[in-house]
Structure 1
């Protein structure tokens, strides 16, 4: 009986040590992950700063454009594009056939597509502001 109790005690102690070591490794992993995330954030901030320096002064938000919508019995017409197309930041955007909000990576990209590309389907109410019903606007802080 004493041997069985002693064996059980040793098993419990070894299991406890194993759990503790696993817990420490998990904490270490989480700490390393947090440091890596902070490193990525810093790198992204540096890239953004470099891009802004190259571009000069760029407003954080596009100015609001008031558009007039002509509604016929079943036809919604989109206002004509502005005199000059919106410049593509660093030349990243180009009309490549994408039409839907789900295909866009950012709100700025969607705005550029609506103002510069034909046959987009991102501005349902034709007010010039795309992806108004896209859930990422509310849930994703990077969707700006």
Structure 2
């Protein structure tokens, strides 16, 4: 079991994940691969998933393939790459998405709250911005007010922003 080629390079920069002491709010993306049916000993298949809106988008990850046959699990060698991410030309949107990723990877990332506090120092200036930018104000306020992991997970899910 192995990758036939490395995952495509993407993202503008690479972030290392230090699992020591981190408390992820959102689990790493995990999904089944679409493989041809039957009892084949070899073959090739391709699975495509759009992970650009996932909170881990833009993060450096280790891809590990796993297979389970008759209760016997096997794992591939890890392949390190950066998950694809959306590109934002608006500085505020980019900053909030970066803070969202940091918070999703570690609920203890208090620097995120300080950064979002700074972004919200003059919300009246942000409200005069075009609609796409002003749509980020509510999630930023939600992050600042959240006190539990569940509240943080709700605001880390920016599904309404991606539409």
TM-score (norm 2): 0.23
Higher relative contact order (CA 8 A, sep 6+): 2
Max radius of gyration: which structure? 1
What TM-score do you get using the length of structure 1 for normalisation? 0.26
Higher fraction of helix: 1
